[in-house]
Amino acid sequence: MNIAIFGGSFDPVHLGHIEVVKKALEDKDIDKVIIIPNYLNPLKNSFSAPPELRYKWLKKVFEDFDNVEVSDFEIKQNRPVYSIETINHYKPKYFIIGSDNLKTLHKWKDIDEILKKIEFIVAKRGEIDNNILKKYGIKKVIDIDIPISSTEIRNCKFKYLPKKIEKEIKEFYGQNCKN
């Protein structure tokens, strides 16, 4: 079975993330997508929504999807988890990342070992530096036509939210909005 891991903060999950999963599942070489929210990204020092809440939102959003699993593997570690640990645990063929992660791949722990074990799939929003794709041998790119980021939602730009959790997201992040 060919597994693709889709890891990230998902702080919060939005329609762009859903589109990534749908398009990944259209790939005939991917049998299953495992979505793995992190406890805390090793390259960051904070999160907005607590890990358990982000996990709950993801479970609700993807509950009706076939061939999709939402895993709390990284959250259960109760610490930042490096991608190599998750890759060694699940042994996926693919690892899906957003194009915003391309500029920090050189900072990933054990990136050379990661590249030997998986193929990256890049979810593209906007322009991509093709030199970076070549450098890391990335051949698969998913075009996402949804112009939103989790950062924008945290900054009270409440667009492209999944209907199932729209109210919860607005209530959680809306507490810090300046009207």
pLDDT in tens, 10-29: 999 999 999 999 999 999 99
Q: Indicate whether 179 pLDDT > 80.
A: no
Tokens describing residue 41: 């990204």
Superfamily of domain 3-147: HUPs (3.40.50.620)
Kindly list the domain boundaries of the chain, sorted by start residue.
3-147
Q: Read off the pLDDT of residues 37-62 as tens digits, 9 standing for 90 and up.
A: 999 999 888 999 999 999 999 999 99
Distance, CA of 118 to CA of 34 (rounded, Å): 14
pLDDT score for 127? 86
Rounded to whole angstroms, the Cα distance separating 158 from 178 reads 13
